[in-house]
Amino acid sequence: MELEIKELTKDNLDKIIALDQICFGGLWTKGAYEREIDSPRSLLLGIFQVDPSPLHQELIGMSCFWAIVEEAHITLLGIDPNYRGQGLGELLLSHLLLQAHQWSLERATLEVRASNTTAINLYQKLGFEIAGRRKDYYPLPPEDALILWRSRLQEPEFSQEMKNIQEKRCAALLTKGWDILQSS
């Protein structure tokens, strides 16, 4: 099995909408994703399972940030439930953060359900810290959001830290039968 991480395009819209439904229950519309893809201040990355014969790519994860002044506001990170627990979220998030670094953004922020300990642990593993709480941020079901921040994206050691995370994650995925293709 091969994996590839790359920027999502309008050619991927049907797959994006299908994965959004699986991961988020229909968080964004097709039009919203089109605007994300078209925006010069937004980056939408996908992780694909690639079957080389015949060539078929299945979108199994995606992430997005908005560049707001010097911040990467992470708006979504989702992995198909059939592929969770393998470190794909960590790999995808590290790629997203490296892109934020390459865009010269200084810090990253996001909101996460207070009960989503799996996601919180992942974010903290990549250097995010809890900065606050938004009361009743999520409507269905009603729940608070934790606000997380990751600063110092422009520090010299940041890009090496993300590359080390990617190397470790790729090595672990290789032992599970995944081959990571060069990301585009």
Asked if residue 87 belongs to a domain, the reply is yes
Provide the residue-wise pLDDT of the chain in tens; the chain has 184 residues.
799 999 999 999 999 999 999 999 999 999 999 999 999 999 999 999 998 776 789 999 999 999 999 999 999 999 999 999 999 999 999 999 999 999 999 999 999 999 999 999 999 999 999 999 999 999 888 999 999 999 999 998 999 999 999 999 999 999 988 888 765 4
Catalytic status, residue 123: yes
CATH number at residue 177: 3.40.630.30
* Burial annotation 77-92 (CB, 10 A radius, 16+ → b, else e): bbbbeebeebbbbbbb
Residues 6 or more apart whose CB falls under 8 angstroms from that of 127 comprise: 150, 161
Alpha-carbon distance values, 24 to 72, 118, 137, 158, 180 (Å): 21, 15, 15, 30, 26
Residues 6 or more apart whose CB falls under 8 angstroms from that of 77 comprise: 61, 62, 63, 64, 89, 92, 93, 96, 110, 119
Please name the residue that has the structure tokens 């078209």: 38
Find the domain containing 170 and state its range. 2-106+152-181
Catalytic status, residue 111: yes
Asked if residue 125 belongs to a domain, the reply is no
The per-residue pLDDT for 156 is 87
The per-residue pLDDT for 1 is 79
Long-range contacts of 77-86 (CB under 8 A, 24+ apart): 77/110, 77/119, 78/19, 78/20, 78/23, 78/24, 79/23, 79/47, 80/19, 80/22, 80/23, 81/22, 81/23, 83/49, 86/173, 86/176, 86/178
Asked if residue 92 belongs to a domain, the reply is yes
Asked if residue 50 belongs to a domain, the reply is yes
Asked if residue 116 belongs to a domain, the reply is no
Asked if residue 34 belongs to a domain, the reply is yes
Evaluate if pTM is beyond 0.85.
yes
The per-residue pLDDT for 75 is 97
The per-residue pLDDT for 183 is 57
Residue in 2, 34, 111, 167 annotated catalytic: 111
Asked if residue 133 belongs to a domain, the reply is no
Asked if residue 118 belongs to a domain, the reply is no
Structural domain tally of the chain? 1
Residue in 123, 138, 155, 161 annotated catalytic: 123
At 46 the three-state DSSP class reads strand
